[in-house]
Structure 1
Amino acid sequence: MTHPYGDYGRSPAAGSLRHVRPSPIFLAIVAVCAASTWYTWHDDGSSEAATRTGVFLLVMSGWLVSLCLHEFAHAFAALRSGDDSVVGKGYLTLDPLKYSDPLLSFILPTIFVLLGGIPLSGGAVYLDRSAIRGRVRNSLVSAVGPLTNAVLAIALALLLSSGAVDGASPTFTAAFSFLIQLQVIAAVLNLLPVPGLDGYGVIEPWLPYDFRRAIAPYAPYAILFLFALLWSPSVNGWFYDVIDHITDALDVSPFLASDGYRLFRFWS
């Protein structure tokens, strides 16, 4: 998720991979994801508590990795488009603590995933939009976040359908399917033209300036309204029908994803 208004007045700079330095926190999350993957891959189902804990750690660490990649994509695209402020802010370190808007980064995403399995990107990168050259580039900077989730969903689905995980336990397959579903949901939700989401960021550069400034303070409330809509049975049913069609197209079973979500909710 990109924040519509950031710093102003910085000079443009060309992006470069030399600024990319994965942080210890990001590497630790990757390590947890790898360890929980190994555990759930070999899970024999002998302990339901251990099974559910393993699934929870795998899904949450995998989601955090994708969140970091989502926000990194915004920042790197912004750097390549002229905004060098992202370097000093640490956005290229993939450290989730750098994408720190307390409401958007931690509180709302945690509530949404735990209560309804609905993932928002969670982070917020504050960009110097004035340094990004042109409206097309500004739109692309917003679009690359959800496109990252879409690419991850496709890549993970290809691993699942290719037979690469055929030796894994049913626990792992269910958790992996749910993680793919989360990527699909994140891509679809973030592309909606709702203030505070990336879909709005795509069209925002083309809207009148006064309108953008007037809408900005209400962005968090728009997200809450969207979440409330998704709790409506009719809207929720329609939305997940769309998600199921997409996961089916990716050759991922919605039933396996549902089982993964059940295991993920270890407290229920």
Structure 2
Amino acid sequence: MLLIGLEAPELLLYLLTAFLVSFTLHETAHAFVAYLLGDPTAKEQGRLTLNPLAHLSPIGTLLLLTVGLGWGKPVPVDPFRFKRLSPKVGMGLVALAGPVVNFALALLVAVPLHLKLLPYTPMRVGPLLVSWGEFAAWFFWLNMTLAVFNLIPFGPLDGARILAAFLPDWWFFFSARIELYLLGLFFALILIDRFTGTGLLARLIAPIGCQSWWWLVGYTPPFPFCGML
């Protein structure tokens, strides 16, 4: 996940808190569905838990805070331990669970936001001015973009495994063999996008979060970049 242009400390607090909650539930959903399908690998390794520390990658977290590019530990899944489902179909369902949870979290906060039940009036918390409305708004935006980002059918993202479930078996095994190389290529592309200032990834994903806000919440988004799209 890429966090770009964080300047206000309040915004950093909103996004890091939302990221911690959302990413933990996203990864736990992968582990839970794998367990339901008969693979206890994630549970055996302590990943079927809501403890965020179990899902954090030290290097990924450090880079998230320093350069805006971060990731967590991938959930271990052994597709050959699935019962009643083929490895590729089972992996597709496990992969789908993460984005589904993110969409559900976005819908969960969209309701009180739409009904204007969460105040935007800032409250002082130590040196910061924070509001429930602003936090919920960024929570919505992050989960929508996190879901869409993970549905990109490339490399290590969930979308690649979902797509593989509909393709021939040989593609599933081939993609599994080259996934490590695709992972390196994927992060190289993100870093190039981040440090060359092209902002291509942000321009592709941000409009989805903004348009989803209009559809589900129904009033002017509080995100400054939405007016520039």
Q: Which TM-score tier does this pair reach, normalised by the shorter chain?
A: 0.7 to 0.9
Map of 2:179 onto structure 1: 215
Kept in 2, the 8 Å contact 1:204–1:212? The answer is: no
Matched, 1:82 2:53: no
Kept in 2, the 8 Å contact 1:69–1:94? The answer is: yes
Matches within 5 A, 1:180-195: 180-195=140-155
Measured in 2, the distance between the counterparts of 1:82 and 1:209 equals 20
Instruction: Choose from 62, 65, 74 the match for 1:124.
Output: 74
Kindly indicate whether structure 1 or structure 2 has the higher relative contact order, using CA contacts under 8 Å at least 6 residues apart.
Answer: 1
Amino acid in the other structure paired with 2:49 = T
Q: Structure 1 residues 85 and 131, CA, compared in 2 at 3 Å: closer, same or farther? A: same
From the two aligned structures, give the one with the greater helix fraction: 1
Map of 2:222 onto structure 1: 256
Map of 1:96 onto structure 2: 52
Map of 1:34 onto structure 2: none
Measured in 1, the distance between the counterparts of 2:109 and 2:191 equals 26
Map of 2:4 onto structure 1: none
**1:193 match: secondary structure:** coil
Alignment size in residue pairs: 202
Shift of 1:159: 1.5
Map of 2:61 onto structure 1: 106
**1:199 match: secondary structure:** helix
Instruction: Choose from 83, 95, 117 the match for 1:164.
Output: 117
Kept in 2, the 8 Å contact 1:195–1:215? The answer is: yes
Map of 1:243 onto structure 2: 209
Q: Structure 1 residues 143 and 234, CA, compared in 2 at 3 Å: closer, same or farther? A: closer
Shift of 1:219: 1.0
Matches within 5 A, 1:191-210: 191-205=151-165, 206=167, 207-210=171-174
Deviates more, 1:81-90 or 1:182-191: 81-90
Map of 2:26 onto structure 1: 70
Map of 2:136 onto structure 1: 176
Deviates more, 1:138-147 or 1:232-241: 232-241
Measured in 2, the distance between the counterparts of 1:190 and 1:221 equals 16
Q: Structure 1 residues 163 and 233, CA, compared in 2 at 3 Å: closer, same or farther? A: closer
> What percent identity do the matched residue pairs reach?
24
**2:185 match: secondary structure:** helix
Amino acid in the other structure paired with 2:61 = F
Unaligned runs of 5+ in 2: 2-7, 123-129
Shift of 1:179: 2.1
Kept in 2, the 8 Å contact 1:85–1:127? The answer is: yes
Shift of 1:161: 0.8
Residues 34-55 of structure 1 deviation map (CA, whole Å, 9 limit, x = unaligned): xxxxxxxxxxxxxxxxxx5555
Amino acid in the other structure paired with 1:213 = R
Map of 2:15 onto structure 1: 59
Kept in 1, the 8 Å contact 2:145–2:205? The answer is: no
TM normalised by structure 1 equals 0.64
Q: Structure 1 residues 190 and 255, CA, compared in 2 at 3 Å: closer, same or farther? A: same
Amino acid in the other structure paired with 1:86 = A
Instruction: Choose from 85, 91, 95 the match for 1:142.
Output: 95
| RMSD between aligned residues | 2.9
Amino acid in the other structure paired with 1:197 = L
Unaligned runs of 5+ in 1: 2-51, 260-268
Map of 2:126 onto structure 1: none
**1:256 match: secondary structure:** coil
TM normalised by structure 2 equals 0.74
Kept in 2, the 8 Å contact 1:62–1:179? The answer is: yes
Amino acid in the other structure paired with 1:217 = Y
